[in-house]
Amino acid sequence: METLLNDFSPGLFAVSTILLLALIALMVKFAWKPILNSLEERESGIEDALAAAENARKEMQNLQSDNERLIKEARAERDEMMKDARNITDNMIATAKEDAKEVTATLIEKAQASINQEKQAALAEIKKTVAELSIGIAETVIKKELSNKKDQLDLVEGILKDVTLN
Amino acid sequence: MRIAYKIVKFLTIVAITLFTAVSFASESDKTHNDQNDGGRVNTKSEVEAYILHHIKDSHDFSLFSYTSDSGERKHVGFPLPVILWSSEGLVTFMSSAFHHNDDGHVIVEKNGLKFAKIHSKIYELDTDAATVSFDATHHATNAHKTLDFSITKSAFGLIVIGLLMLLWFSKLARQYKTKKVPTGFGRVLEPLVLYVRDEIARPNIGEKHYRRFTGYLLTVFFFIWILNLAGLTPLGFNVTGQLAVTGCLAIFTLVIYTVSGTKGYWMHMIWMPGVPMLIRPVLAIIELAGALIIKPFSLLVRLFANISAGHIVVMSLIAIMFTLKESLGVVGATGLSFVLSFFITLIEVLVAFLQAYIFTMLSALFIGMAVDDHAEAH
């Protein structure tokens, strides 16, 4: 202990105090302040950049999900449209079929009506022709009767043979 | 941390045992070595004297000495300025005036005063004395110590390392003006700065206050570390092994945490809440002693003892070359000395960092305790 105290030099203590105070002041002013400030600036810069990257990633994700949603919506719309179209076609076909049926039915009806009419007309004509023929026959018969009864009958028979109704 | 402390403990124990062994030995055979034997260091007692001399501060910067062919002792190095506050006021001269004499035989006359250097201390002789006379215990009887503000080897080392630090770190600071990431040597320094800030200052002081003290902690850390490492070079600095320097650093830390202590910190120290009234004054004495004496004293002694012990151990192991020459032979002694001193130097490199770390860490911890809002000074 005595040697230690003997070795302790108050002069060196004073000198080193002054030198160290100067060193600390100079280092703080010219080295540590600018170094620590730049380091902190850089660190906050890195942090900001990381945060920005994270934000960009999130935005990207949002965009992607938006896109997906849009695609899904578009697809659904398309499906809907196709379904509608199919329905419309089906309806159209169905209506067309019905219309056609109706038209045919009316046509058939009309045809039948006209056939009936024709038939009636034909029948009327036949009746007329028959009447005319009968009259004619009756004429001739009447003409022939006048000469021969037998002949008359033969004639009627013959005429009737010739004239077939259908 | 745990391992680090263990290593420090182990090294301290080793150092203390060696240190005491050395000092005991020097007590037992106190033969004053003759200055005129060419300054060779061959015997055990000379080795001890040499090591103890090295541990001390010195007034000139000597790199090495040798004896020329004509038998003349040559010293290679350079003198440093001596600045004294004597009874007649300020006296300055170069240390070369003492001609490397360290036992008071060379008297320097300046301003009508006579000075002699004895064991690295400069004495002012009494006015009527012509030479220094010694008593039986080798103390000067007709001379007294002066206040010595010399730029000694330690002060010189402090200036050199300080300038080096200023150069390195201001260069690093300037680099940030032009680029985000430093290049060259700055790339080595930046992680160290970040290490001190993020591993020492921030966790120990706390996020809120650490910025104010980081500058001091960084200065102290690099100052101690670089000087510790410089002490391991053959330049032979022993700045961090000087009580004056470590004491100065410890007092800085003391002043900082005493000045910046919060109300809670002082309350816990002087009038501990939650403790019976009668015990409070007792606790206050203990707390005050702990904060004002024990903490800085532990900082001071830890650094001083570790670095001095390291120097003593390394030099003792190098000296095995001479001391065991008889019993092991030249090759054996040199080999053993080389191997042992090589490994202990490696450990010393680790200790150099560790002591800087511990000093800075403890300073940060003490400051953290003082500025903490809920001071845990229990």
pLDDT tens-place string over residues B203-228: 999 888 888 899 999 999 999 999 99
Tokens 């001391």 locate to B323
Whether B216 sits inside 8 A of A15 (CB atoms) is no
Backbone angles phi, psi at B44, to 5 degrees: -60, -45
Contact A35, B193 (CB under 8 A): yes
Whether B154 sits inside 8 A of A16 (CB atoms) is yes
User: Lowest-confidence range among B72-76, B150-154, B224-228, B231-235?
Assistant: B72-76
Confidence at residue A144, expressed as pLDDT on a 0 to 100 scale: 66
Whether pLDDT at B351 is above 80: yes
Nearest residue of A to residue B308, measured between CA atoms: A4
User: Within 10 Å of residue A146's Cβ, how many Cβ atoms?
Assistant: 10
Confidence at residue B34, expressed as pLDDT on a 0 to 100 scale: 40
- Predicted ipTM of the assembly: 0.79
Chain A residues in contact with B173 by the CB 8 A cut-off are: 30-31, 33-35, 38
Compute the nearest-CA separation of A13 from chain B (Å): 4
DSSP designation for A123: H
Whether B158 sits inside 8 A of A19 (CB atoms) is yes
Residue B190, both tokens:
């930046």
Contact A157, A142 (CB under 8 A): no
Query: What does the pLDDT look like over B282-334, one tens digit per residue?
Result: 888 998 998 899 999 999 999 999 999 999 999 899 888 888 888 888 888 89
Determine the residue type at A15.
V
Residue B4, both tokens:
């680090």
Chain B within 8 Å of A14 (Cβ-Cβ)?
yes
Q: Residue B75 forms beta bridges with which residues?
A: B65
Q: Residue B85 forms beta bridges with which residues?
A: B90, B147
B324 vs B346, residue with greater confidence? B346
- Which residue, among A162, A123, A160, A166, has the nearest Cα to A138 in the 3D structure? A160
Query: What does the pLDDT look like over B36-49, one tens digit per residue?
Result: 445 667 777 888 88
Chain B within 8 Å of A27 (Cβ-Cβ)?
yes
Whether A15 sits inside 8 A of B149 (CB atoms) is yes
| Residue A10 to residue B146: CA distance in whole angstroms | 10
Chain A residues in contact with B81 by the CB 8 A cut-off are: none
Chain B residues in contact with A22 by the CB 8 A cut-off are: 162
Determine the residue type at B59.
H
Overall average pLDDT of the A84-103 stretch: 92
Which residues, in sequence order, are CB contacts of B26 under 8 Å at separation 6+? Answer: B45, B48, B49, B52
SS (H, E, C) chain B: CHHHHHHHHHHHHHHHHHHHHHHHHHHHCCCCCCCCCCCCCCCHHHHHHHHHHHHCCCCEEEEEEEECCCCCEEEEEEECEEEEEECCEEEEEEHHHHCCCCEEEEEEEECCEEEEEECCEEEEECCCCCCCCECCCCCECCEEECEECCCCHHHHHHHHHHHHHHHHHHHHHHHHHHCCCCCCCHHHHHHHHHHHHHHHHHHHHCCCCHHHHHHHHHHHHHHHHHHHHHHHCCCCCCCCCCHHHHHHHHHHHHHHHHHCCCHHHHHHHHCCCCCCCCHHHHHHHHHHHHHHHHHHHHHHHHHHHHHHHHHHHHHHHHHHHHHCHHHHHHHHHHHHHHHHHHHHHHHHHHHHHHHHHHHHHHHHHHHHHHHCCCCCCC
Whether A23 sits inside 8 A of B216 (CB atoms) is no
Whether A42 sits inside 8 A of B180 (CB atoms) is yes
pTM of the model: 0.73
| Residue B93 to residue B261: CA distance in whole angstroms | 44
Structure confidence at residue B270 as a pLDDT band (50, 70, 90):
confident
Please count the residue pairs, one from chain A and one from chain B, whose beta carbons lie less than 8 angstroms apart.
120
Contact B187, B117 (CB under 8 A): no
| Contacting B residues, span 259-318, partner chain A, CB-CB under 8 Å | none
Compute the nearest-CA separation of B330 from chain A (Å): 35
Chain A within 8 Å of B218 (Cβ-Cβ)?
yes
Confidence at residue B304, expressed as pLDDT on a 0 to 100 scale: 92
Contact B305, B12 (CB under 8 A): yes
A111 vs B4, residue with greater confidence? A111
Compute the nearest-CA separation of B161 from chain A (Å): 10
Overall average pLDDT of the B181-193 stretch: 89
Confidence at residue B103, expressed as pLDDT on a 0 to 100 scale: 77
Compute the nearest-CA separation of A45 from chain B (Å): 10
Nearest residue of B to residue A4, measured between CA atoms: B243
Chain A residues in contact with B218 by the CB 8 A cut-off are: 27, 32
Chain A within 8 Å of B26 (Cβ-Cβ)?
no
Q: For residue A154, give the 3-state DSSP assignment.
A: helix
